[in-house]
Chains A and B, each alone.
Chain A
């Protein structure tokens, strides 16, 4: 079933809300490194070797106030994504989440966070008798190994945009400010698309 190694660390339920306003300013100050050509480039490379590829946000379904952002991240030296923010003019709160598949007998939320896995695909997961449930949890960060990409993708890690101010329509661009332990703050321009 789920191949998540358990007990690596406990997810911290830290609300980032109080930091949003302060970081929005920080993000704006650093925005020059990525946003000036953001409309034409789908890849952002930071000096520290962090590469962000194909950042995108799903177009908002009817009536929803939630969004999810996805991208591929690599770091030549290895790094750790510790925070993601979008401007409060787009969404009130931004959190890093992971979707996991659990057995129905183990849905009390007590599983350890798997923060080292990136792109485990979901082949057949949850199909043992069809009882596997999918659920989300907030994670304190996402480790980016030196020797491989981490894919934030549907059914895995994603950046969750909570309380969208307005629905996001295909073609729009959402600036996302990512904070890495080593590389610091990197802003990417995520394109909104339907899938």
Chain B
């Protein structure tokens, strides 16, 4: 419904969500959990950065989204070299740098993994994307779920979120939008 305009005019219209007032995330400052290096949320000229908040103990939503991203990168061909994905964990207790690297690396080639231990700081970064997450109750086995905004944000070289793909956005729609952004 929201995306009804995209049906008849393929190739020239975004299939993800575009806000009337796009989010400016140029001030977001985060580091890669593996080596502490700065993560380029704002990509270099000509590139696009994708940002996602999720967690690896996520059997349904996150692997679905990342399987779609993997398909999209395969379908993009050489253009995929200009797209990098940032996975910010909403579950820093369980998602160590190694866990994140192993998980995201099983889907994508070009990525960063971010682990923000301080809850207040994580909230700050989430808020810059108008995202949020919450840890669920711990069960008898010590397991818990994490509620989280499940959106992929595509950031352009001005640090602006140009398009957002909600959960369920399929690879062809992602490819369509990335081709528009990269053209």
Tell me the nearest residue of chain A to B99, going by C-beta: A63
Give chain B's interface residue range (CB within 8 Å of chain A): 35 or more
- Whether B10 sits at the interface, judged by CB under 8 Å, is no
- Whether B147 sits at the interface, judged by CB under 8 Å, is yes
Tell me the nearest residue of chain A to B67, going by C-beta: A195
Q: Are the C-beta atoms of B57 and A122 separated by less than 8 Å?
A: no
Cβ of B148 to closest chain A Cβ, rounded Å: 6
B residues 1-52 touching A (CB-CB < 8 Å): 1-3, 17
Give the residue among A104, A109, A133 with the most B Cβ atoms within 10 A.
Answer: A133
Q: B96-109 vs A: 1/0 string, CB under 8 Å?
A: 00110011111100
Give the residue among B57, B107, B168 with the most A Cβ atoms within 10 A.
Answer: B168
Partner of A124, one of B3, B104, B130, B149: B3
Distance, CA A82 to CA B165, complexed state (A): 34
* The stretch of B76-84, B131-139, B174-182 that contacts the partner chain: B131-139
Give chain A's interface residue range (CB within 8 Å of chain B): 35 or more
Partner of B102, one of A62, A97, A109: A62
Interface of A is mostly: loop
Which residues of B are at the interface with A, using a C-beta cutoff of 8 A? Answer: 1-3, 17, 56-61, 63-64, 66-68, 70-71, 98-99, 102-107, 129-134, 136-137, 139-140, 143, 145-151, 164, 166-168
Which residues of A are at the interface with B, using a C-beta cutoff of 8 A? Answer: 13, 15, 58, 61-64, 66-68, 97, 99, 101-102, 104, 107, 109, 121-127, 129-137, 154-155, 158, 160-162, 194-195
**What 6 A-B pairs come out closest when comparing CB atoms?**
A62-B106, A135-B147, A195-B67, A63-B102, A154-B64, A66-B59
